[in-house]
Amino acid sequence: MINTQLYGLIGKPVEHSLSPAIHNALFKKHKINAVYLPFEVDDLESAVKGARALGIQGLNVTMPYKERILEFLDGISDDAKVIGSVNTIVNREGKFVGYNTDGIGALKALKRFVEIKNKRILVLGAGGAGRAIAYTLSKLTEVVVLNRTERKAKELEKFGVKGEKLSKGRLEYYSSWADIVINATPIGMNEDRSPVPGELLKKNQVAFDIVYSPLETRLLMEAREAGCLTIDGLWMLVYQGAESFRLWTGIKPDVEFMRNVALEVLKNVQ
């Protein structure tokens, strides 16, 4: 395979990721001579140097490196700079340029199912994904972020959101206040836990969990039972992945195709 372009995912852990299956299927579909590989990284600086040396054309970045990766890049998009988090790197003639597609992915996933304008949104978590989601949605409507570390929640107030320390009382209050509840934490990933007690969810709310393994987390199961509209994390994954693919190739891919690839992988691992 001459001149095969190399793309990949860096983070720790990465073995659970659906991104390799999705992007390799897209390369095949669009007849692009490229391969996407997962790289579990312990030393981020060395990994980036290695990626440069190998001429890797694009990378996705996942936990725990979305914020730290900024110091090793040659350029950062305006949105990624404001958010302080990068999940996509494009090799532009030897220069590694960082972007953030998490916010766009969450926005498009939500818009697929619900009108966002004038909706009150509660975001749980102020990590890389939570920051991107809060920043993107704050341009359209009222957003409150609750986070275990108050400082990280308060930092997001520069976006025009309200940031508060997560407490039982605030969770109860803002769960009742919100039209849309978004879990932007890892709680529920391959475990039977939810960041929001089921009794706090109410009929006609929207519950959106960015966790996609399992596809129906405990939060989404209890939300469905409460009469909420539920949106699983796979929608965000495919929409943010579609934006990454567009940045790398200039092609706007079919998200339905991407989701079906991911569902096949999930079906085979369960």
**Catalytic residues, which ones?**
66
Whether residue 102 is annotated as binding a ligand: the answer is yes
The CA distance from 242 to 116, in Å, is 21
Radius of gyration of the chain (CA): 18
Whether residue 241 is annotated as binding a ligand: the answer is no
The CA distance from 62 to 225, in Å, is 31
Whether residue 152 is annotated as binding a ligand: the answer is yes
Residue type, position 200, single letter = L
Token readout for 75 is 């350029």
The CA distance from 250 to 255, in Å, is 15
Whether residue 233 is annotated as binding a ligand: the answer is yes
Whether residue 3 is annotated as binding a ligand: the answer is no
CA-based nearest residue to 60, from 78, 41, 42, 79? 41
Contact between 10 and 65 under an 8 Å Cβ cutoff? The reply is: yes
Whether residue 212 is annotated as binding a ligand: the answer is yes
Whether residue 125 is annotated as binding a ligand: the answer is yes
Whether residue 193 is annotated as binding a ligand: the answer is no
Q: Which H helix or E strand runs over 153?
A: helix 150-155
Whether residue 132 is annotated as binding a ligand: the answer is no
Where is the binding site for shikimate, in residues? 17-19, 62, 87, 102, 212, 240
Q: State the binding site.
A: 17-19, 62, 78, 87, 102, 125-129, 147-152, 210, 212, 233, 240
Q: Which segments are annotated as binding site for NADP(+)?
A: 78, 125-129, 147-152, 210, 233
